[in-house]
Amino acid sequence: MPRHRPGVEKAPEQAGPTVYYDGACPICVREIGFYRRQAGADLICWTDVGHDGVADIAPDLSRCEALARFTVRGVDSKLVSGGHAFVVIWQSLPRFRWLASFFRPKPCAWLLEQAYRVFLLLRPSLQAAVATASSRGSQR
């Protein structure tokens, strides 16, 4: 299973992108957990920036920026965020490469980014709903 610990993590043998995710977000944790179970995920560096103690992730990325928008550093060292960040992950996971191919062209990339922006507006409400459902489930 891919290495994981809170904070910044960089595997020297890494051949894939670095994913910066909010480990304090129940939705994000579930989604990242799903991707981490996929073939090819061991080549991705999974970095939890959702916990205190991490100020700046890199010279070109603050913790605040990484928490505001889903961010990935591609194998070319470029930072991408939002919908395009998902395309980078999907390209790295064989099962999802078809999605990367579909959403890479500009019209589809634009649609994916718009969907991501809608998600950002709904995220606080969705997080609260997931947290409530999780706490109810753990009380049973």
pLDDT above 70 covers a percentage of the chain that reads 85
Radius of gyration of the chain (CA): 15
pTM: 0.82
CA atoms within 13 Å, Cβ hemisphere of 140: 5
Residue 8 inside a domain? The answer is no
Render pLDDT for 78-131 as a digit per residue (tens, 0 to 9): 999 999 999 999 999 999 999 999 999 999 999 999 999 999 999 888 888 887
Locate 122 and state its tokens. 């709904």
pLDDT in tens, 13-28: 567 999 999 998 889 9
47 in any annotated domain: yes
Is 12 a domain residue?
no
Q: Is residue 7 part of a domain?
A: no
Q: What percent of the chain has pLDDT over 90?
A: 66
- Give the range of the structural domain holding residue 131, as residue numbers without chain letter: 18-138
33-60 in b/e burial notation, b at 16+ Cβ within 10 A? eebbebebbbbbbbbbbbeeebeebeee
CB atoms within 10 A of CB 6: 15
pLDDT on residue 4: 44
